[in-house]
A and B are shown apart, each in its own frame.
Chain A
Amino acid sequence: MSLAKPMVAERLERPVSSRGHSMQIRGLSAYYGAKKAVDGITMDIPANHITALIGPSGCGKSTVIRCLNRMHEVVRGARAEGEVLLDGENIYGPGIDPVQVRRLIGMVFQKPNPFPMMSVYDNVIAGLKLNGRLDKREADAIVERSLRQAALWDEVKDKLQASGAALSGGQQQRLCIARTLAVEPEVILMDEPASALDPISTLKIEDLMQELRERYTIVVVTHNMQQAARVSDFTAFMLAGDDRVGRLVEVGPTDEMFTRPTEKRTEDYITGRFG
């Protein structure tokens, strides 16, 4: 199995039902220039489940999630070491094209970032347009399907030609999710997807995540422990030491982590003693 281009095309042809993609992180360290931000993360991300990364500010959880689709390295001077496997294949391996990695591992960002100069419609198919060849009927179908999956169709079906920036904050974030779904990734990374949103929009995003779990493997970073407890199946707790380098403290099924954590530091954080 290779992430080189022909194999990617083959993967994308596969029917959705046969999907189920897991990831493994093996000894991942990340740097900004000479400064180490994250050290030696090793954990598994099971297929068709939601894995939450929690921890106080500055613990490196956003850095870790950005390493999972090679988005970390687009920051000037940033680099990563170690292995991240998608279905057993190292996305940091030699000859792997980061552009193809990002096609397969989609990302939703903290702040809604629709393309303001594009319509709602064009925002959804932006990723597909990159690959060219898309007839109108096909595009219409993909736009409707993606917006329905993102629970946004009913709210925007009459204003598909309006600017993506004309929507409310919560709608913009669901538009960004629809845009990610349109390219049919295997894994979806969400970096604090609801932190800039009001409580009702947050609830909508959380409900949406539950539905998307049927089809996708999801990793979510959140600073909100209640949110992690509500939405996730597995939780990883990270903490930065005195050297301000983030490390994984423990990872496990969410209900165990929140009821009987094995580590004292996890318990302290979860019960609100710090952070």
Chain B
Amino acid sequence: MSAELLGQSRGSSHQGDSLFERSILSLAFVPVGLLLLLVALLWYDAWPALARYGVRFFTTNTWDPVFENFGAAAFIYGTVITSLLGLVIATPLAIGAALFLAAYAPEWLQGPVAFTIELLAAIPSIIYGLWGFFVLAPLMRSTVEPFLKETLGAIPILGALFSGPTIGKDLLTAGLILAIMILPTITSISREVIRSVPDNQREGMLGLGATRFEMIRYAVLPYARPGLIGAAILGLARALGETMAVTMVIGNSSTRITPSLFTPGYTLASVIANQFTEADKEIYFSAIVALSLVLLLVSLVLNVMARVLVARTTRGPLGVRN
């Protein structure tokens, strides 16, 4: 009898198992399905513009709704330049801060500082935008940019980056506000990555007679490197998609592509935000949707890269079993 019961219960639970498995399997496909649906709809609406302008859509920088000439090059340029600028400014600061928190800060300081950084990441971007508009941009115009123009602007070649009138609402200010916004993201991920370096790596290096700096330089940073790159790329992805704050400080006026960082510019995200309500013609609307498709694809590619890199660190590089 007991054998019968056992068989029965096993049978029914097995049925329950497969039912459960199938239902969660379908749930797992919901996000995948949503993503595909999103791309498909964007593609559908973007198609008229992509078909009409072809490669020119990506290579020209005229954006003229009246004569129906649409080229996204200036927006792609603005997006890439401001995001990279933000990344270049934020990454060294973030990794330095993360190293301090994970390796040097006394315990009582770690918690509050880490919490404050997480809080910074949670501030709505409109607040950064307002601050950028009323505080940062005027400061850039009156003080920082004239200073950069006088010092770095005099250097040949590099000086081209800091030439022209100092307006305050331009690529440089947008890059700076992005740096401030992605700093907490990169810092908190870097801190986790550095903390996840096994103690036996640190002690192994100390045991050979390394100073604390040498231990960080030769044991901690190499081990953490893939994860730190991943953190930087996640920051970059956030910068690429950031709309509100950038729109408020980038100038939104020029579709010129010039080397100067003092040029007022435009990013993909800010064009979309500013112009989608004005798109009165079908081809205009289609061109704007095409912009969002470009932005989505760039962000997707970068996110996938970041995930692969971070996964390599947390599993331990090169097959170490820990």
Contact = CB atoms under 8 A, between A and B. Distances in A.
Given A103-B209, A130-B218, A116 B317 contact: yes
A74 B210 contact: no
A109 B223 CA distance: 18
Interface string B199-239: 01111111111110010001100110100000000000000
Contacts of B208: 102-103, 106, 126-127, 130, 179-180, 183
Nearest to B107: A76
Contacts of A113: 198, 200-201, 203-204
A158 to B, nearest CB: 18
Given A74-B206, A102-B208, A118 B222 contact: yes
A102 B206 contact: yes
A32 interface: no
A130 B206 contact: no
B320 A116 contact: yes
B218 A126 contact: yes
B318 interface: yes
Interface in A97-118: 99-100, 102-103, 106-107, 109, 111, 113-118
B316 interface: yes
Contact of B223 (A99, A102, A116, A176): A116
Majority SS of interface residues in chain B?
Answer: helix
Contacts of B31: none
B319 interface: yes
Nearest to B218: A126
Majority SS of interface residues in chain A?
Answer: mixed
Contacts of A69: 207
A249 B322 CA distance: 34
A117 B317 contact: yes
Contacts of A99: 209-211
A110 to B, nearest CB: 8
A166 B318 contact: yes
Contact of B210 (A130, A163, A166, A169): A130
Interface in B261-307: none
Nearest to B106: A76
22 contacts: A71-B207, A74-B202, A99-B209, A100-B209, A102-B207, A106-B207, A107-B203, A107-B207, A109-B200, A113-B198, A113-B200, A115-B205, A115-B223, A116-B317, A117-B223, A117-B225, A117-B318, A165-B317, A165-B318, A180-B207, A183-B208, A183-B209
Interface of A: 69, 71, 74, 76-77, 99-100, 102-103, 106-107, 109, 111, 113-118, 126-127, 129-130, 163, 165-166, 169, 176, 179-180, 183
